[in-house]
Structures are given as structure tokens and as C-alpha cells.
Chains A and B, each alone.
Chain A
Amino acid sequence: MTTAPEKTDAAVPDTVKTVSVTIDGIQVSVPENTLVIRAAEQVGVQIPRFCDHPLLAPVGACRQCLVDIPDAGNGRGFPKPQASCTLPVAEGMVVNTQVTSEVADKAQQGIMEFLLINHPLDCPVCDKGGECPLQNQAMSNGRGESRFFESGGLKRTFPKPINISAQVLLDRERCVLCARCTRFSAQISGDPFIELIERGALQQVGIYEKEPYDSYFSGNTIQICPVGALTSAEYRFRSRPFDLVSTPSIAEHDACGSAIRVDHRRGKVMRRLAGNDPEVNEEWITDKDRFAFHYATAGDRLTYPQVRDTDGELRPASWTEAFAVAARGLREAGGVGVLPGGRLTAEDAYAYSKFARVALGTHDIDFRARPLSAEEASFLAAKVVLTGPANGAPTYADLERANRVLLVGFEPEDEAGAVFLRLRKAHLASGTQVVSIAPHTSRGLLKMGGALIRTAPGDEAAALDELGMTGEHPLDSTSVIMVGERLATSPGALSSAAGLAARTGARLAWVPRRAGDRGAVETGCLPNLLPGGRPVADAQARVDVATTWGIDSLPETPGRDADQIVAAVNAGELGGLVVGGVDPDDTADPAAFRAALDAASFVVALELRETDVTRAADVVFPVAAVIDKAGMFVTWEGRPRSFDAVFTNPQALPDSRVLAGIAEELDRPLGFRTVGEVRAQMEDLGPWDGDRAAFDAVVNTAPTDTSGETMALSTWKQLLDHGSMQDGDDNLRATARHAVARVSRAVLEAHGETVTITGDRGEWTLPAEVADLPDGVVWVPANNAGNGVLADLASPGSRVTVKGAQL
């Protein structure tokens, strides 16, 4: 007999001690402190449960998971059944669940009977029916007939439903009071004013009369409700779970890459749920990721190509005609800039990148449909592209391991919800200290237990320069510096952030707002970068790309960035524009962008819906929404997140297919037609293994203008706002925070509770609210009023005047 060598299990870290327990006669080893209910799952026994949730602290309230413990590991048993959701395993423990113990089985049946006495029999009309833990477990662990009814029992009733928020509805009589929703809000999202109120059988989930339950994560309470007590106004009574087809996907609303599940019926999305990805979003998503999906079925969704006719009007056209017209126009335009926007899949972004270089022969491409800087482009090329979890870039898990996370120009609750939840968890569970360089303490920062380094817009670089390995907020190699895309508007700030990282060993993470931003960086939708992180300025890199693409050469100098493209069109230096999903009001200068649309001799628009761009375009191509195409988003970490198409919709082609069609008409084919072919080509090209681009650090020498009566404008986009991808989701929008101007107490006292803010592009009159801002700074939400701050008021960081409103 041969002796097999001892297996070394490298997967189990040696720091985790395991204990051996016997569950229903089966011995199993589990990590110490594992709860009995989860140890039982290891031997294939599902103990029924309601209040238990793996991501919430044990509470032991519903008592459904009672088991018999004849030996607690010390030779003595518990005299009474124990709740397995609160009891950690102990070495030698013997557990008998409902499978082997009559005591446990009877205890569970008894609890189930109690849960049902006050539960209405409205399963046939309940949203949860068919996917309801109460329904399922009543079948598996309950009795078929109601002794309560037989004994003449009278159920407790409540009027139904009541509003918890504009979106979340509560049927109190269905509630089993497991407190998952209230615990989620207390432990995970940190949003108050949803609580259990009243006593005994009249206990119920309630809200505070004077303050709303205001949460960007409220939809999670609906998803984890183990009964049909919480429903959304959006989905209530819309469909039955057994009619739905579920497709896993990735949320398209931010750079978090949250796993979602799209539930659809007969070609229509009915709802979206959080997927479960412990590495990324755990089991939580923002309300935007959950509820904002009707934009894809909006009435103004483009469904056929259009070309501008001789009479100046757009008319429907066939795909082939549109390809031909677009190709002819671009060939004759005399220099074309490409503005693909930040909403693209990586495959589509690659297609734009290659289209610009191969079909148009230019590096004039920039995905940044927002205020930007040359410093940022250099930062992205030198510090961001090609970094990822595989080569040591910080991840979600690293946020929990960090001793300190520094946020600069970045408001996670509004701009990256999954990052916010992970930072709050890190703060609560691992003591991570969150520090924010920002003008004021936001509600999100409070919930993360964060410290504020109060900084006026423009002074971020100076604030960063003062930090180091010592002082009040010392950074070390576990620390993570998260810089937001807004930092592009603060000269020198990205340079100072890079300097701070180099000084302290802390790691940098760039967190953009849009799902396609990071993928666009990786695929070279920048004037200074080629796909795979190849610097345009690097001759070897250019040769590498040109050879792979089978073209002679690429232009040697970097192209124009988005602002320069707009300026060049307005100056007549460029004649054509290819515009993807860009909202003019998001750009640094909306008026200039609109002027460029008019000034351009030829505009090709690839869009989902009718916009100012499509109205000005000469050829309009409808493109596929995310649900209609396969693709990949790259998270802020650099983690690729692939997804398949939910629907097959022949009316809408992915951007890559449209660009391939135009390129073929230009006789400069891109070598792909399908998303699969694009992906294969991307893999073929691969990442750049040569030198990274050098970082052109910038030192901000311009003194901050604090003269006169003016104040600096601080602004960012809140999670829920007037963004076009939330169109059609009225219940969601109703939960958005109201537009207010935040000012210091002194400013409020000087000007009153309604202020008029005047900038170089217009004025806004908003209710004022006190925040711990410096006296010289006013904050407004970027897109909760009018056409947004860039179009209607002023550029972020610029000077505005604040006056009491003339009412």
C-alpha cells in the first residue's frame, strides 16, 4: 500500500482556527466562531430562519432556527432548544437540527405556527409569493392546517400599505418583525428614521413623523425582507416571480461594478436586484442601480438611423445608407474629434479608440465629458491605467484593511455607493479611519465616522502637501488615497496626491463617476493613451499598436483633449465630431459645446435617446443600451466586470458595430463586427509591458482669489438628480434630496434662509442650509436644479456671489 503525501491545504490560512462539531450525526470542521446555523449549511442542512442574515449582526429575534444541543462541547447539553443563529460552535459540540431531533422540529413548527397566526393569507396577490422565505419555510417546516383559525382566532389587522418613503411601501400585517430592514439601516447604510415602534403584537416598522426615512440604499431593505412586508412602489403588483427570467449583470450607474440581477418578462425589465459578490458590492446596491432602468424604454429612445436631408431635417435611413453618409461626411469634414463619453463598455470604448486612430487617423479623442485637465490626462496615463487588483492596486477588501482612507474630491455616498458602504463597514468593523479633504462634513462622511480636513475648492493640493507619515492623520503603506474625478478641477491636486502616495507608501485609487470611465482609460480613449495603456508619445508603443492593427503608422504627437476639441471646432480647426453618450450640460462649458455642435460641418451622433447632440447631428445612430449588449465595465479598482446581453434587440447595435460599419465605408475596416470579436482583438493586443508614461506633475502657483464679496463654488453630483438615466423613474426621483445651497452659519445669518447665487453663467435661488463650510465657500448640488450647475451657474471652484434672495 502506498502512502499518499500529506495534503497541504494552502487555501486555508493557518491563522484561522477550526473547531470540530457534529451536526445531525455528521462531523464537520468549521472556523471558530462560526454560527451553528452556518455550520449546519456545511453539512447540507438548511435550518429555517427569518431574522438571520449573514451580513447583519445576529439578533435571535424570530426564534425560527431553534435546534437541540445535547452537548455544548463541555459534556453538558442545553436544557432548552437554542437559536442557532446566535450560537457559535464549540469544539465537540453536538447539534441536532430538525432533521434528527423531534424537539428541534417541534420547536420550529411551533414558531412557524406563531408567525402565521397574524400573517394574512394574501399570498396570491403578494409580490413575494413564489420567492417568499415565509411561504417556502411554512411549507417545509410548518403544518398544513391553521390551528389558530380552527380555535376561532382573530388576526391582527392594519390598514395597508403605508409609505416608508416615496419608493418603499410597508404592509404591516405581513411583517414578521425580523428587524432586517431596521438593522440594515442601522448597521449597513447608517440611515436613521426607520425603526421598530409600539409593543407586543402591535410592534411595527415605523418612521419618524418629522423627518423622512431618507436613504440611497432603501431598496436593499425590500430585497432582504423575508416576507412581502416591504415592496417598492416601482414593482408592486407588476409581476410574479415565477414568470420572471433572471439574468446576472453589472450595474451601469457608477464605477463600482456592482453585481446585479435583472429580472425580466417577455422582453421587458420588471425589476433589478442586488447580486451577491463578496469581493465587490457584497449583497447591496444603491437605489439608482436598483430602480433606474426605465431610461432604456423611454419614449424618445432612438430606434432607427437618421440622416439629415437636403431640407435640413433629419429623416429615417437604412443602416447601410447611414454608414455611407457618415463615412462620406467624416471624410470630407477636415479633421474630426471623437467624444465617446464615459458610459461605454470597454469593448465599445476600444472601438472608439481604434476608430479614431485607424478610421480617422487622429488622437483627438477624449472620453471625459466633464471638467478635465491636462494634469489629469497625464495622471491617468502615469498612475492609473493598467493598475488593478492583480498588480497591487487597492481593492474593496483593502479599504477594510487600511488603517486610514483619505478621500480627496470624492464623496462616496453620492458618487460611488458601494465604496461608501464598504468604507462604513471598514470604519465600524475594522476601525478604518476615513479622512476627507472637502469643504464640509457631508452626511456620508458623518456616517463613515470620518474626519474632515476642511478645504476650500482649489486648496486641495496645499492640504495634501501638509499630510505625511506623522501628524494628526498619518498615512502608511496600508492607507488608501481615493481621488475623485472632480480633482481635475483643482490644479496641482492630483500631483500632490501622487506625491503624498510616494512619500508615505499609501496606495492611490482614482474613482470616477461613470461606469465606462475606467474602461475608456484602459482602451485609450484619451489623447495621450493608446489601448492597453500604451503612451502615444512612446514610439515603441505606437509601433506595437500599428503593427497589431495592420496600419503603417500612428500620429506621433498626442491629440486634443475634449476641451481642446471643442475649442478647435469653434475655431474652425476641426470640422467634424463623432459624439457618443455626451450630455452637453455635463461638459466643462456647455455653451461652448453647443456652439461646437453648431459650428461643426459634420456631426455623427451615437445615442440611446434624442438629445441636443442628436438634434444637431448630421447622422444619428441608435445604439444598444447596456441590457441589449454584452460587454465589460472596469471598476475603480481596475477589476474587469463582464456581462452578457439580457435581451437580443435587433433594433439597436452596440457602438462598436456602428463604428465598424462606418469604418468599412471609409475603407479602413476595424477588423471586428461583434462584441466577441472586439474582445478577442483586445486580448490579442494585450496590456503594454513597456515603460509607463512619465507623470507631468503640476504645481499650483495661482493664488486663491479670496478678494471681494465673492465665494468659491463647491459642487458635486448627488446620487439621485436630474441625470437622464434616471428619467422615467418617478418614485426613485421622489426620494432624491432637495436642492439646497449649503453655507456657513455666518453667511446664512447675513443673507437669510433663501439665497441667490450668481455666477458667470447665470444665477440660482435656493433654500440655504448651514454646514461647517468656510465662510468663503458655498456648496450646491451639481444637477438637482435647472440644467445643472455648469450650464446655469458657474464652473466648479470659480467665484460666485451670494446674496439674500429678493422674494
Chain B
Amino acid sequence: MTSTLTPVLTDIWDADQSWKLSTYTDRGGYAALDKALGMAPDAIVTAVKDSGLRGRGGAGFPTGMKWSFIPQDNPNPKYLVVNADESEPGTCKDIPLMMANPHVLVEGVIISSFAIRANKAFIYIRGEVLHVIRRVQAAVEEAYAAGHLGKDIHGSGYDLDVVVHAGAGAYICGEETALLEGLEGRRGQPRLRPPFPAVAGLYASPTVINNVESIASVPSIIEHGAEWFASMGTEKSKGYGIFSLSGHVTRPGQYEAPLGITLRELIDLAGGMREGHVLKFWTPGGSSTPLLTDEHLDVPLGFEEVVAAGSMLGTRALQLFDETTCVVRAVLRWTEFYKHESCGKCTPCREGTWWLVQMLTRLEQGVGEESDLDLLLDQCDNIFGRSFCALADGAVSPIQSSIKYFRDEYLQHLAEGGCPFDPMKSTLFADELEMA
């Protein structure tokens, strides 16, 4: 089954000092840049469009189309901003990618900036991951020294400066307009749209904001061609992507594979579920995507396919939970996260998450009655689609989906007056405890 893996971004992760420029160039790195600089910028946009690359940050918006929205007659400078504020619970692909192979991102930044005629690009990295920030900074420094960045890149006459910006650690700054606020030095809170960033983004200038993985995929598209990229994946979800398996699985980690692969195949690749246990529920793309269960093991992990199954592909952050896990407890933890990360700007998110946590806490403790579940769902209904940005939509997804699939488990809490699960059993050291 290993043949289903398509290592591109992760290809050099096993190399000695894979993050070094020399390692990257030894494996053909920065060759795509030369090719790109020989192309017309519009031809690069077309190639990315033709490849079918869709945003890897979760929403799946076609990357080439996003680039083509940049009004080239706007007199303001154009900016490329890379969203590396990866903070979603369960999502862990950009950070290892930047750790292990930062140059593929830098090369992608140069090609993408060239395509949209930007002379300044920003990589906005989540502030907590200092080691990653340092690594990307070092990569950018190496790239400058090697002439991949700065003035007259590779003699093409094209100039580009890259700024590596450390965020201040707010989940909301993964939302692109909040990220721009943060980048401009303000409090991270989402902006009113329109105007959209493509028209008035960073410093009120045309701005493309892309996820790390989207930008890192660009060199491979230029190098191997749009058709090569489009040959992978499903009809509407083309190419490869990093699937991050975490939780109760034998070998958690990053599995780079064509979109459309199923969880069943991925679990096989990862050596199966934790010994002696079975899958109970999972998230396809981080905690903001509605939970799925073992009924959905064969859903192809493409954008439309997962939506049809009642969830979203998101960031392909597959968190796997086996039967030892209390779903109410897991959902409470996530909800506490959203309450903590709510920026406070709009009412349903700010006040709603405050209340949701209180409701779930009581339910988890077995306090309340069945009608409280309906109240909880009504609250979710009053939050979902009513908030300023999508953060609150994500906050209610685990609640709504968990009640959909595990209503009985909630009721069991109420019937027993407490949680029927032993939280120790779901830990990694459960077996050691057993033996002791």
C-alpha cells in the first residue's frame, strides 16, 4: 500500500539537515525558479490555474483564480502574504514542513510573488513556534546570500524582499483579514469585507494570502507541469496534500498522498489503530470540521466528497479517537479552545462560546436534562452563520456533529450523573498503567 504515497514536499524530510539550502539544491531545488523567471507572470498564473491547485489552508479556494483577482492596474504595490499561523487543534502540517523543508516554501514564495508582480512578500508565522521562525529566517537568509532573493534575482531583473513576521499567538490571525491586521501592527481581529484583500489588503493594497502548503506546492507545478499535478487526486480536488494523522493510531505523522485517499488507506499506512482498539470518531480537517465516525472510513478525502459526507476536508488534520475517548469531554476541550481564542469582536462568538463552555461543562459532569441538548443545539444554531467570521462556525461544528452521532453518550452522562469513561484509558500511557 505504500505506493499510494506521493512524497513531494516531504520528499527530502529524511535527508541529513534537510532544511539546508545545499540539501535542497542537491535535490534539484530552485530549478523551478529559473524556469518560472523565464515565463511570463501570467503564464505562471495560468499554470497554477490549470493544475487545479486549491487552497491548502482549509477552504479550498482555487489558488490560480485567487491570483487572477489581483487588479494589475492598481497603482499600489502588490503583496504576497503567506499564512503560516497554523493554530487549529489537530492541524500540524505547515509547521513540520517549514521545519524540515523551508526552502520549498521560499522558492514557492518567489515564484508566486513573481506571478502576481509583488516585490515584497511576508511570511506570517505563528508566534509560539520560535524554532520554526528561526528556521525560516535562516532559510530566507540563505536564499538572500545565494541570490534567490533581493535585487535582480538570477539576473532576471526581478526584485523581491521577504519578511518573516512572528505573530503574537492568536488563533484568529489564521483568518486572513485578522492576519493582515496583525501584520499591520494592530489587534488581530477580522476586517469587514468587502473590500477583499485582493483589492485592498495589506496597507490597503492588492494582496494575495495563501497557506504555506499552497505556496510550497507551486514549485512542483512549475517544475513538472500543471498536467502532472492535475493527474493526481480526484476530479475536483487535484494534486497531492499532506495528511496529518494524530491520536490513537499506531504511527502518527505526516502522510503525503493524492487527495481522494481514504482514511482506511491512511490508517493502514499508519499501521492501524492503537493495538486492541477501534476507531470511534475522527476529524477530517482539524477541530473546526464536523466529526465523522467509522461509517466514513471510505469517504475519499477530497473537498466535495467530504462535504457530501457532512463535514469538510479542512486542513487534512486527521485526529483519530478510539472507543476509550469520551466525545463529550473531547468536545468540551475544543470548545474551551474556541472560547479562549474568540477575538471578542462579534456577539455570537464572544458570548456564545462563553455559554457553550458552561453548558458542556455541566453536561460532561452529568448535570442537566435532555432538553439541555436541544438548548445547546439551539445555541449552536444561533451562532452558526451569524458571526463575523468563520471562527464561531468552527466552534459549533464539533458540538453539532457529536450530538448528531453520539447523542446517546451525552444522555448516558446525564443518566449516570457523570462521565462514564475513565480518561486514563485514552492516554498513551494507559497500557503502562494497566500493568502497574
A, B co-complexed: yes
Which residues of A are in contact with B by a Cβ distance under 8 Å? 58-64, 66, 79-81, 86, 106-107, 109-111, 113-115, 117-118, 147-148, 151-154, 156, 176-177, 196, 198-203
- Residues 315-343 of B at the A interface (beta carbon under 8 Å): 339-343
Are A64 and B347 in contact (CB-based, < 8 A)?
yes
Interface stretch among B45-53, B237-245, B289-297, B383-391?
B383-391
Are B341 and A200 in contact (CB-based, < 8 A)?
yes
Q: How far is the CA of A61 from the CA of B387 in the complex (A)?
A: 8
Whether B269 is near chain A, meaning CB under 8 Å from some CB there, is no
Neighbour of B343 across the interface among A60, A80, A110, A200, CB < 8 A: A200
Whether B155 is near chain A, meaning CB under 8 Å from some CB there, is no
Majority SS at the chain A contact face: loop
Whether B359 is near chain A, meaning CB under 8 Å from some CB there, is yes
| Residue picked from B348, B350, B352, most chain A C-beta under 10 Å | B350
Hey, which chain B residues are within 8 Å of A111, CB to CB?
347-348, 382, 386
CB distance from B48 to the nearest CB of A (A): 28
A199-B192 in contact given A62-B347, A154-B358 (Cβ < 8 Å):
no
A117-B342 in contact given A58-B192, A63-B388, A196-B187 (Cβ < 8 Å):
no
CB distance from B149 to the nearest CB of A (A): 35
Hey, which chain A residues are within 8 Å of B170, CB to CB?
199
Neighbour of A200 across the interface among B342, B385, B387, CB < 8 A: B342
Are A200 and B354 in contact (CB-based, < 8 A)?
yes
State the 5 A-B residue pairs at the shortest beta-carbon distance, nearest first: A110-B382, A203-B344, A80-B385, A114-B351, A200-B342
Are A63 and B346 in contact (CB-based, < 8 A)?
yes
CB distance from B349 to the nearest CB of A (A): 8
Q: How far is the CA of A111 from the CA of B379 in the complex (A)?
A: 10
- Residues 381-436 of B at the A interface (beta carbon under 8 Å): 381-383, 385-388
Whether B367 is near chain A, meaning CB under 8 Å from some CB there, is yes
Q: In the complex, which range does the number of interface residues on chain B fall in?
A: 35 or more
Whether B274 is near chain A, meaning CB under 8 Å from some CB there, is no
Whether B345 is near chain A, meaning CB under 8 Å from some CB there, is yes
Q: How far is the CA of A59 from the CA of B347 in the complex (A)?
A: 12
Are A152 and B351 in contact (CB-based, < 8 A)?
no
Whether B91 is near chain A, meaning CB under 8 Å from some CB there, is no
Q: How far is the CA of A147 from the CA of B382 in the complex (A)?
A: 13
Q: A106-B381, A200-B340 are in contact. List 8 more A-B contacts (CB 8 A).
A: A63-B386, A110-B382, A111-B386, A118-B351, A152-B368, A177-B350, A196-B344, A202-B344
Hey, which chain B residues are within 8 Å of A58, CB to CB?
192
Hey, which chain A residues are within 8 Å of B346, CB to CB?
60-63
Are A199 and B382 in contact (CB-based, < 8 A)?
no
Hey, which chain B residues are within 8 Å of A152, CB to CB?
358, 362, 367-368
Are B387 and A63 in contact (CB-based, < 8 A)?
yes
Whether B375 is near chain A, meaning CB under 8 Å from some CB there, is yes
A59-B192 in contact given A110-B381, A151-B375 (Cβ < 8 Å):
yes
A153-B358 in contact given A63-B348, A200-B344, A203-B350 (Cβ < 8 Å):
yes
Q: How far is the CA of A234 from the CA of B211 in the complex (A)?
A: 53
Hey, which chain B residues are within 8 Å of A64, CB to CB?
347
Whether B61 is near chain A, meaning CB under 8 Å from some CB there, is no
Q: How far is the CA of A118 from the CA of B352 in the complex (A)?
A: 10
Majority SS at the chain B contact face: helix
CB distance from A165 to the nearest CB of B (A): 22
Which residues of B are in contact with A by a Cβ distance under 8 Å? 170, 187, 192, 339-348, 350-355, 358-359, 362, 367-368, 372, 375, 378-379, 381-383, 385-388
Q: How far is the CA of A114 from the CA of B344 in the complex (A)?
A: 13
Q: How far is the CA of A90 from the CA of B245 in the complex (A)?
A: 46
CB distance from A48 to the nearest CB of B (A): 12
Q: How far is the CA of A478 from the CA of B340 in the complex (A)?
A: 53
Q: How far is the CA of A147 from the CA of B343 in the complex (A)?
A: 24
Closest B residue to A60 by beta carbon equals: B192
Hey, which chain A residues are within 8 Å of B344, CB to CB?
177, 196, 198-203
Hey, which chain B residues are within 8 Å of A60, CB to CB?
192, 346, 388
Hey, which chain B residues are within 8 Å of A107, CB to CB?
382, 386
Hey, which chain A residues are within 8 Å of B379, CB to CB?
110
Closest A residue to B172 by beta carbon equals: A199
Q: How far is the CA of A114 from the CA of B350 in the complex (A)?
A: 9
Hey, which chain B residues are within 8 Å of A106, CB to CB?
381-382
Hey, which chain B residues are within 8 Å of A115, CB to CB?
347, 351
Hey, which chain A residues are within 8 Å of B381, CB to CB?
106, 110
Could you pull out 20 A-B pairs where Cβ atoms are within 8 angstroms?
Answer: A61-B346, A61-B388, A63-B346, A80-B386, A81-B385, A114-B348, A114-B350, A117-B351, A118-B354, A148-B355, A153-B358, A176-B347, A196-B344, A199-B340, A199-B341, A199-B343, A201-B342, A201-B344, A201-B350, A203-B350
Are A151 and B382 in contact (CB-based, < 8 A)?
no
Closest B residue to A107 by beta carbon equals: B386
Q: How far is the CA of A720 from the CA of B258 in the complex (A)?
A: 70
Hey, which chain A residues are within 8 Å of B187, CB to CB?
196
Q: How far is the CA of A81 from the CA of B352 in the complex (A)?
A: 17
Are B375 and A114 in contact (CB-based, < 8 A)?
no
Are A117 and B354 in contact (CB-based, < 8 A)?
yes
CB distance from B159 to the nearest CB of A (A): 32
Closest A residue to B367 by beta carbon equals: A152
Q: How far is the CA of A803 from the CA of B432 in the complex (A)?
A: 82
Are A201 and B345 in contact (CB-based, < 8 A)?
no
Q: How far is the CA of A153 from the CA of B362 in the complex (A)?
A: 10
| Residue picked from B187, B344, B353, B375, most chain A C-beta under 10 Å | B344
Q: How far is the CA of A382 from the CA of B375 in the complex (A)?
A: 75
Q: How far is the CA of A494 from the CA of B149 in the complex (A)?
A: 60
CB distance from B337 to the nearest CB of A (A): 11
Hey, which chain A residues are within 8 Å of B350, CB to CB?
114, 177, 200-201, 203
Hey, which chain A residues are within 8 Å of B383, CB to CB?
110, 114
Q: How far is the CA of A59 from the CA of B383 in the complex (A)?
A: 18
Neighbour of B352 across the interface among A79, A114, A177, A202, CB < 8 A: A114
Closest B residue to A113 by beta carbon equals: B382
Are A199 and B347 in contact (CB-based, < 8 A)?
no
Q: How far is the CA of A198 from the CA of B343 in the complex (A)?
A: 8
Hey, which chain A residues are within 8 Å of B358, CB to CB?
151-154
Closest A residue to B376 by beta carbon equals: A151
Closest A residue to B382 by beta carbon equals: A110
Hey, which chain A residues are within 8 Å of B339, CB to CB?
200-201
